[in-house]
Amino acid sequence: MAKDAKKMKEVEQLIATGKEKGYLTFEEVNDALPSSMVSPDQLDDVMTMFGDMDIEVVDPVQKLKITEHRVGEAEEEFEAEAEAETEAVVEFLGRIGDPVRMYLKEMGSVSLLTKEKEVEIAKRIEKGEREILNVTFNSPLTVKEILSIGEKIRKGKASIVDVVKGTDDESTEEEQKYHTDKFLRFEEKLRDLDNEKDTLFKKTQGKGLAPAKKAQIGKQLDENKDKTRETLREMNLSSRQIERINHKLKNLVEKVDKCEAELAGIIKASGYSSKEELMDILARARKGGADLKKAAKESRISQERLKEMDAEISDISEKIAGMEEKAGLPPAEMKKALKNLKSGEIRVKVAKSELVEANLRLVVSIAKKYTNRGL
């Protein structure tokens, strides 16, 4: 009895679903009927009841046709009424104030999101995210950061949480161990590739290196870079970790820009038009004695100021060299990477903004259905 009572409740829920959709499948009806309802007369009564409620009982093929037909009708009706709906919402909400009316009118001018437009936006987002990952996975800074994280994890000073996808504060110990072991295997491979890269690079600095040998090493370096990039992809880094790495690149470029601005200020104050001219004077002044006096007279800068400028420029150069070491790239390459990174970020931001705007347009169109219900 209890089981049949439960079934009857399922029948009530099924009727509600049928009224909402306008149809039910034979499979849905069969699953919901009580086991005691087996006679033909009883089944006829059920089918008659559904008919009286304007609920069709159809097979899967009919269901597909009904769905396609209704989707087509809904799309046409939706488009035809979109502008009228927006105006109705504006009129209903008129008492709220001009800013709201202006916003809703503006939203009314936005086209509803079609399937084709949705696909096009998704592709742009994907392309932007691919640009971001290309910068991240080609950056020596990423390798340095991952190796640093691996070292900290081995020493128990860091956790795998939020470093790779599939980990967060709610991850179980077993899940964290699995992801940690996997990460450390890739990290070890990455460390070997980094050591190989350093060894190959040192060989290119050797004197008397034959062109053929140099070309061979260059090819090996390219292969090493490809393997490094692929290993980083396989590590399945989380979006949060990628953001942290890219944020460090942005900070380094910002600091480089600040140093270069300070250097430009010193050059401008010296009266020389280029860094090379000023550095030539400072190199002579550095010798001291008569050379310092001569440099001061020629530049019309006091001897003390020449010494101060030399120390300031030296300090700036050391700072830039330190940032170059951290990034694993010279300033020009850092800025190029950042430019590509920002290009990808802007592409993603603009596409997502269009998606949000289109979804808001959809909300405005639907809002009319509730304007006469006290909402």
Q: What is the pLDDT of residues 175-198, one digit of tens each?
A: 999 999 999 999 999 999 999 999
Per-residue pLDDT tens over the stretch 305-326: 999 999 999 999 999 999 999 9
Are 249 and 319 in a shared domain? yes
Are 223 and 282 in a shared domain? no
Radius of gyration in angstroms for the set of CA atoms belonging to the chain, rounded to a whole number: 35
Neighbours of 2 (CB within 10 A): 6
Are 211 and 155 in a shared domain? yes
Are 231 and 148 in a shared domain? yes
Residue with tokens 């007369």: 41
Residue 170 is predicted with a pLDDT of 86
Is 145 strand, coil or helix?
A: helix
Angle at 232 between CA 191 and CA 348, to 5 degrees: 150
Tell me, yes or no, whether 352 lies in a domain. no
With beta carbons less than 8 A apart as the criterion, state whether 155 and 341 touch: no
Tell me, yes or no, whether 310 lies in a domain. yes
Are 251 and 303 in a shared domain? yes
Last residue of a domain, one of 33, 58, 83: 58
Residue with tokens 């690079």: 201
Q: How many residues does the chain have?
A: 375
Residue 140 is predicted with a pLDDT of 95
Tell me, yes or no, whether 356 lies in a domain. no
Are 144 and 233 in a shared domain? yes
Q: Please state, rounded to an integer, the average pLDDT across all residues of the chain.
A: 80
Residue 44 is predicted with a pLDDT of 59
Are 253 and 218 in a shared domain? no
- Give percent above pLDDT 70 in the chain: 67
pLDDT band at 71, cuts 50/70/90? very low
How many structural domains is the chain composed of?
A: 3
Tell me, yes or no, whether 119 lies in a domain. no
Residue 375 has pLDDT above 50, yes or no: no
The C-alpha atoms of residue 263 and residue 205 are separated, in whole angstroms, by: 30
Residue with tokens 């800025």: 335
Are 208 and 145 in a shared domain? yes
Residue 212 is predicted with a pLDDT of 87
Single-letter residue type at 64: L
Per-residue pLDDT tens over the stretch 275-298: 999 999 999 999 999 999 999 999
Tell me, yes or no, whether 81 lies in a domain. no
Tell me, yes or no, whether 361 lies in a domain. no
Q: pLDDT: is 209 or 27 the higher one?
A: 209
Residue 75 has pLDDT above 90, yes or no: no
Are 284 and 268 in a shared domain? yes
Per-residue pLDDT tens over the stretch 339-350: 999 999 999 998
Residue 78 is predicted with a pLDDT of 47
Neighbours of 262 (CB within 10 A): 15
Last residue of a domain, one of 58, 82, 106: 58
The H or E element that residue 56 is part of is strand 56-58
Structural domain harbouring 230:
140-237
What are the φ/ψ torsions at residue 237 (nearest 5 degrees)?
A: -60, 145
Last residue of a domain, one of 237, 260, 279: 237
| Sequence-distant contacts of 335-341: CB under 8 A, at least 24 apart | 335/253, 335/256, 337/135, 337/138, 337/139, 337/249, 338/249, 338/250, 338/253, 340/131, 340/134, 340/135, 341/131, 341/132, 341/135, 341/136, 341/246, 341/249, 341/250
Per-residue pLDDT tens over the stretch 226-254: 999 999 999 999 999 999 999 999 999 99
Residue 31: both structure tokens together: 């699953």
Are 261 and 314 in a shared domain? yes
The C-alpha atoms of residue 160 and residue 336 are separated, in whole angstroms, by: 31
Are 251 and 227 in a shared domain? no
Tell me, yes or no, whether 360 lies in a domain. no
Tell me, yes or no, whether 28 lies in a domain. yes
Are 145 and 230 in a shared domain? yes
